Structure 1
Amino acid sequence: MFFVDTIEVPGLGNRSYLAGGERTAVAVDPPRDFDQVLAVAVRRGVRISHVVETHVHNDYVTGGLELARTVGAAYLVPADARVSFARVPVRDGDRVEVDAGLTLRALATPGHTPHHTSYVLEDAGESVAVFTGGSLLIGTVGRPDLVEPRMTERLARAQHASAHRLAGELPDETPVLPTHGFGSFCSSGQAEGSDTTIGKEKASNEALLRDVDTFVADLLAGLDDVPAYYAHMGPANAAGPAPVDLTPPAVADAEEIAARLEAGEWVVDLRRRVAFAARHVSGSFNFEADGQLATYLAWLIPWGKPVTLLAESAEQLAAAQRELVRVGIDRPAAAATGGPADWVRQGETPASFRRATFADLAERHPAQGVVVLDVRRDAERADGYVDGSVHIPVHTLPRRLDEVPGGEVWVHCGGGMRAAIAASLLDAAGRDVVAVDDSFDAAEQAGLVVRKQAA
């Protein structure tokens, strides 16, 4: 008997896996905070004998090296990956025994990276699952543009060939278990559904349905923005990440919070956007703890800038720390829990800004000349935008605040979370801002003129 357990990393849109038999198991693409992998192993009553990486990851800091050191497991990394630490180099066709009768076979699947390797789990010689990392995903494939721009087209072609190799060598009923594709920007598209097989992908995945030239042209045309922090993930993983420290940060009082703001540091309020808009520390930024905190904070913050976290509770703070170490924001400079009454200096008044809907905006625009700021990504805007709106994607806003026209700014995104981030940035810069906390689908229904970009 064998098992495969999935470890969800929802904030980054990724998955990790623990697979094994009665005594031992292998961890595949573990997150940096690997205690949850250990917990699964304890529940299963198995020892982790192997830790494997499908590739040097570009979207998060791996926990593979430290997990292997902690449990004394063999650490398997593709042989052609350039890394600075000792590991077991894996080449196409290599096999390792995970448990009695249970084997892991390496299958070279370049495309997401040049050295990308998938792993076929075989039970008594039969393929029972394939860990595809950033190669074959659910309905799509991993991005080929994260390594080096001059390699992108070549890697896209390799991605097509790798998908066909997987489909050609494995039985249709083989479960496909990718690392990316559940919201990760490492995916060239987003998954629909939570599970798949080789047979299902043959029937639906464009990499397996289109000729290579058509597939590559469409793939390259559809690539979205790359989070800025990705540039730091590959080097960190190749060098060998340090162990994580999830102990509580130093506690900041209202005076220290103010001092850190005055020093130009980032103070990040993790509360929900409704509460933040109503009352917050002037100059602080709002990144909701239950949104894509790690992705957007790491994307927007200048790399290495000290950050102080403001949370409603110790539990919210601890969860945020855990998310942030996954993207290399290892230690907050300081933190505080409670609410604005605890964080604002005595005698000072908390800041606030208004929230609204697209129906509210329709009553003001365009007759009253408000500035409508669209902070969605380019690909989203291409599908429709409010006539007369200014477009500055939220991940570029910190360096482009001076491009926002003067006047009252009504800022929107696709659902409200990114608009709240942008509104907090504008509010901190002293702008008169209104956060449109509404689905963009409601814009046209509210009577606003929505146009589409010309092809």
Structure 2
Amino acid sequence: MDISIIETSGLGDRSYLISHGGSAVVIDPQRDIDRVLALADERATRITHVLETHLHNDYVTGGLELSRTVGAEYVVPAVDGIGYPHRAVTDGDVIDAGPMRFEVLHTPGHTHHHVSYVLRDDTGAVHGVFTGGSMLFGTTGRTDLVAAEDTEELTHAQFHSVRRLADTLPTDTPVYPTHGFGSFCSATPASGDESTIGEQRQSNPALTQDEQSYVDELLAGLSAYPTYYAHMGVINREGPAPVDLTPPAPIDPAELRRRIEAGEWVVDLRNRTAFAAGHLQGTLGFELSGSFVSYFGWLYEWGAPVTLIGESPDQIAEAKRELVRIGVDRLTGSATGDVDTLRAEAPLGSYEVGDFARLARERKTTAVAVLDVRQTNEFDQEHIPGAVSIPLHELPQRLDDVPAGPVWVHCASGYRSSIAASYLDRAGISVVLIDDDFDNAVKLGLTVSG
């Protein structure tokens, strides 16, 4: 039995293709199903079933389109309001996929309807459990994505769900979660790349703490999550439209300038320091790297047309693939090449880039305004004295709270602060981007705890 992982690192998620004897089952597929189809073809298998552990909050599912494309049965936990044909499953149901059997365990917590799937062969032996947003590696799925009034109830349910998995399954059972590899669906950061039920009994807080301690700790640790999540459950319940990965049409420099002057979403995908060195004034910088899609979706004005600027057509295509995974489909144009060739007499912007060592030197002789765009819980743990705390996702609405420039802006690694710097620059605020790890600020003695 082969279990293949399909990694979506930008969202911190995994999908799975399980194959045996020429048959395959897919669990929690992302919207860009071409990756799944290519893997099934490589494995010379036919997909007979597509399984969802829950209606996802952090991405648009590819399950519906995949099941229709290959003629597979689409299996979804029983939940009201789903607007397309599917097989609704509840606790104790079994999906018979030839030489593979998937036993359904109701594991509420991440959502009310969440299920896990225990993989067995035709002898009944367990080969793994697919836990979605329930048991993760060293943590559990967050419980506040349904409604505030349900969060405490779901947190208690999550505790019992993880305990049920640990009590039901053999110690050596491999655990295959969907979330927890950088996903905001994780209650706390997950640890490790693989695990078993036995290892989780030693490290998972739902298994090492009593119920109330687990509940109190999880609730106290919940932080903000991307606002685009509000749209994912709705799309997945109604049934996503088929994915379109066709690159957005190229536009000329004159049209690019018109869109910028009209205040449209024109996003530059280049490296953060390249953007700082020179960019079309009025554009936003979202470096196309690890955290791109989460923070783009968090700040995006839902439904607004988007124009992308990139170094190459391949970079534009990669960005579109990332964005359609969260339902950002209104990509209305693109431009590639050197900024000087794209400017059409439009003004160029730029700002300085520094590090914490330079900030330390500046602070010895000058009163320096510092803006911290990490989340509030990060700031509360440790921060630079005198820094103004405005989490990145609040910045567009709180520009009036930013100190007079020049403002030195930082986060934990330089990624969030690079986005913030582009917002400040667009607003006409003089800015210095601190492109550095916050650990270096700690080492330099720039910070205080609490």
TM value normalised by structure 1: 0.97
- What is residue 203 of structure 1 aligned with on the other side? 202
Q: Secondary structure of 1:121's match?
A: strand
Counterpart CA distance in 1 for 2:364 and 2:403 is 14
- What is residue 397 of structure 1 aligned with on the other side? 395
User: Within 5 A, what are the aligned runs for 1:20-419?
Assistant: 20-100=19-99, 102-123=100-121, 124-346=123-345, 348-365=346-363, 367-419=365-417
1:406 Cα offset (Å): 1.3
- What is residue 448 of structure 2 aligned with on the other side? 451
RMSD between aligned residues: 1.1
Identity %: 53
Counterpart CA distance in 1 for 2:401 and 2:241 is 39
Counterpart CA distance in 1 for 2:13 and 2:343 is 37
Instruction: Letter of the 2:302 partner, please give it.
Output: W
Q: Alpha-carbon deviations, 1:85-117, whole Å to 9, x = none?
A: 1110111111122222x2111110000000000
Counterpart CA distance in 2 for 1:241 and 1:365 is 52
Counterpart CA distance in 2 for 1:140 and 1:196 is 12
Q: Secondary structure of 1:27's match?
A: strand
Counterpart CA distance in 2 for 1:198 and 1:187 is 18
Q: Alpha-carbon deviations, 1:298-348, whole Å to 9, x = none?
A: 1012111211100101111111100000111013111111121222113x4
Closer, same or farther: CA 444–3 of 1 in aligned 2, 3 Å: closer
1:82 Cα offset (Å): 3.3
Q: How many residues align?
A: 449
Counterpart CA distance in 2 for 1:342 and 1:115 is 53
Q: Secondary structure of 1:129's match?
A: strand
1:367 Cα offset (Å): 4.5
Counterpart CA distance in 2 for 1:155 and 1:349 is 52
| Contact 2:50-2:72 within 8 A present in 1 as well | yes
Q: Alpha-carbon deviations, 1:125-168, whole Å to 9, x = none?
A: 01111000000000000001000110000000000000010001
Counterpart CA distance in 2 for 1:331 and 1:126 is 47
Q: Alpha-carbon deviations, 1:411-430, whole Å to 9, x = none?
A: 00011111110001100111
Answer with 140-149 or 82-91: which moved more. 82-91
Counterpart CA distance in 2 for 1:436 and 1:179 is 34
1:369 Cα offset (Å): 2.1
Q: Alpha-carbon deviations, 1:4-38, whole Å to 9, x = none?
A: 10000000000000012111111000000011111
1:366 Cα offset (Å): 6.6
| Contact 2:304-2:330 within 8 A present in 1 as well | no
Q: Secondary structure of 1:77's match?
A: strand
Counterpart CA distance in 2 for 1:47 and 1:444 is 54
Instruction: Letter of the 1:82 partner, please give it.
Output: G
- What is residue 437 of structure 1 aligned with on the other side? 435
Q: Secondary structure of 1:369's match?
A: coil
Which residues of structure 2 form unaligned runs of 5+? Answer: none
| Contact 2:374-2:411 within 8 A present in 1 as well | yes
Counterpart CA distance in 1 for 2:252 and 2:112 is 49
